[in-house]
Structures are given as structure tokens and as C-alpha cells.
């Protein structure tokens, strides 16, 4: 595995592969690699000739008073993991490399996708996500880029971005990887205290409750949201940010629970913010 730190180096190597007919798979990360990231790398490895992973803690997607300064960073550990997964190229740029002096470009994707769910409490977060993803997709020029379903809202935004800017890249969404008790793998799980970690699986339990409610015929979104909220409120350590039910294709509200139904949750456990979601296909008329 080769590690590069500049835009020029990554572009040169990838374009050389493309000239030789190689397909490029790309996994953008902020480091602190875990089994969820590994599943994305393995999906890219199965489908593509060459795999590129980026590690960049993007300051533009953190809102004031978030954990940018404390976000876990261990490039040596991440490099070992990437090498073990047979990554061909690791791109680990500095902030100055990605945002040089004078950088003043913003990328804004559809308000329908960004001004809901996590976008309501994290203003400008998705603009920061969009600008770094656009830069990375332009630099790496992959045939396929891989993202996890845990960040489902982000995946829809990235898909819209790639379509609208003709970035000639397929955005592949892979299933959420979970702990044995259902907690979605996340770099921020390490912030949880022992007591908070014991409480955290209730998030997935509440989502599975939503799935079960849909499967037995509930079609009223307000009743389902209340049931999920009630389950979450049964854990005293949980502070609910939102429970929402949306059309999984558009993030529009649903009057009747039918079609591709997204149930999404955001909570806080102490200083840790956890998000998760589940998607259920509900046949019309069922």
C-alpha cells in the first residue's frame, strides 16, 4: 500500500490506473477505522481492480462546539488496518492541502435533503460534507464510491451531488455493520462510558420495534413515532433529538406508511450523539 498526502500524487496514480483500464473503488473516511469501514473496503475490493481510501477529518462539517478537536486520530493504526485489507492507495491530506489559503467555495445540495433530520440541529453540516465529497470525487475520480447506510441522509445527499455535477461515479450504499447487541458501529462509540454503552442498544431495539409495527399493519406515522419515542424514553440516560418517519427515496414526510419507509433516530447519551435508521419496504394496499 502506498500512502500519499497531496492532491497531485493521488490524481497522478489514479489516472495512471485508469489509463490501463483499471476500475477504481473509493472509500472516503475520517479515520478511526472500524468494522463498518472495513466492510466498505471489502465491498470495493470485491468489485474493483484498485481500492483507494481517504482519511481526512473535515473541519467544514463540524458545527461550533462539536468534537472536531477531540475526534479520534491515529493514522498509524488506520494505515495498518488499510494495509491488512489490501488497500492500494491511502490518501491522507492535511487541512491546508484540501483547503489552501483563499479557498472560498461552498456546495449546497437540495434543501429537501439537507434541511431535515440531522440538518435541523447541525446547520451547514451537510454543506461541509458536500464540499469535501465533491473535492474527493474529483481528485480520486473513482468508478464507484462506498458509503454506509448508518449515515443514510448523507448517502442521499452524495447521490444527488454526484448526479447533479456529472461526477461519473456510482455511489454504493452498504448495510450498517452492528455490534452483537445491535449498536451501529461508529467512531464515536468510544466516547460512551460503560453505563452509556449498556444503554445504547435501545436505539436499535426501538428501530426494530418500528419494523415490527410496520409488519403487523400499522400505517399511521404519528402512532409509530410515538411508539418508538416511548421505547427510547424507557431508558433514562437517553436524550431524544428526533424520531422521524420519511419516504426513504425523497426524505419527504409520509401521511400513510407505505412504500420504502425510513425510520430514523438521533439521540444523545451523555456527550455522545448517536444516529441510526432502518428501512422497510411496505407494499401499497397491504
Kindly list the catalytic residues. Answer: 37
Pairing of strands 238-247, 24-29: unpaired
Q: End-to-end alpha-carbon separation of the chain, Å?
A: 51
Burial class (CB in 10 A: 0-12, 13-18, 19+), 208: middle
Partners of 246 in beta bridges: 253, 262
Cα gap 197→191, rounded to integer Å = 9
Cα gap 93→115, rounded to integer Å = 29
- In angstroms, the Cα distances linking 45 to 2, 64, 118, 138, 190 are 16, 37, 31, 20, 27
Grid cell digits, residue 74: 491515529
Cα gap 283→250, rounded to integer Å = 17
Cα gap 264→275, rounded to integer Å = 8
> Is residue 89 a contact partner of residue 10, using CB atoms and an 8 Å limit?
yes
Cα gap 107→127, rounded to integer Å = 6
CA atoms within 13 A on the CB side of 13: 18
Amino acid at each position: 500500500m502506498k500512502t500519499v498526502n497531496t492532491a497531485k500524487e493521488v490524481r497522478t496514480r489514479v489516472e495512471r490506473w485508469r489509463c490501463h483500464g483499471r476500475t477504481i473503488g473509493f472509500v472516503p473516511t475520517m479515520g478511526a477505522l472500524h468494522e463498518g469501514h472495513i466492510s466498505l473496503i471489502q465491498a470495493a475490493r470485491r468489485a474493483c481492480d484498485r481500492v483507494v481510501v481517504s482519511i481526512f477529518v473535515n473541519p467544514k462539517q463540524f458545527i461550533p462546539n462539536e468534537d472536531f478537536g477531540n475526534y479520534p486520530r491515529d493514522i498509524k493504526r488506520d494505515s495498518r488496518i488499510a494495509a491488512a485489507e489490501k488497500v492500494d492507495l491511502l490518501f491522507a491530506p492535511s487541512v491546508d492541502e484540501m483547503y489552501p489559503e483563499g479557498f472560498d467555495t461552498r456546495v449546497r445540495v437540495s434543501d429537501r435533503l439537507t434541511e431535515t433530520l440531522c440538518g435541523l440541529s447541525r446547520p451547514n453540516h451537510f454543506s461541509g460534507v458536500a464540499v469535501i465529497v465533491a473535492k474527493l470525487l474529483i481528485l480520486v475520480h473513482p468508478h464507484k464510491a462506498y458509503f454506509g447506510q448508518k449515515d443514510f441522509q448523507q448517502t442521499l445527499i452524495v447521490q444527488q451531488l454526484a448526479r447533479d455535477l456529472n461526477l461519473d461515479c456510482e455511489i454504493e450504499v452498504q448495510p450498517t455493520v452492528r455490534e452483537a447487541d445491535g449498536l451501529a458501529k461508529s467512531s464515536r462509540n468510544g466516547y460512551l462510558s460503560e453505563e452509556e454503552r449498556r444503554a445504547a442498544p435501545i436505539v436499535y431495539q426501538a428501530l426494530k420495534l418500528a419494523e415490527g409495527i410496520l409488519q403487523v399493519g400499522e400505517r399511521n406515522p404519528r402512532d409509530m413515532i410515538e411508539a418508538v419515542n416511548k421505547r427510547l424514553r424507557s431508558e433514562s440516560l437517553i436524550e431524544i433529538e428526533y424520531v422521524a418517519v420519511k419516504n426513504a427515496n425523497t426524505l419527504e414526510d409520509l401521511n400513510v406508511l407505505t412504500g420504502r419507509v425510513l425510520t430514523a433516530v438521533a439521540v444523545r447519551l451523555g456527550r455522545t450523539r448517536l444516529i441510526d435508521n432502518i428501512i422497510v419496504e411496505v407494499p401499497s394496499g397491504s
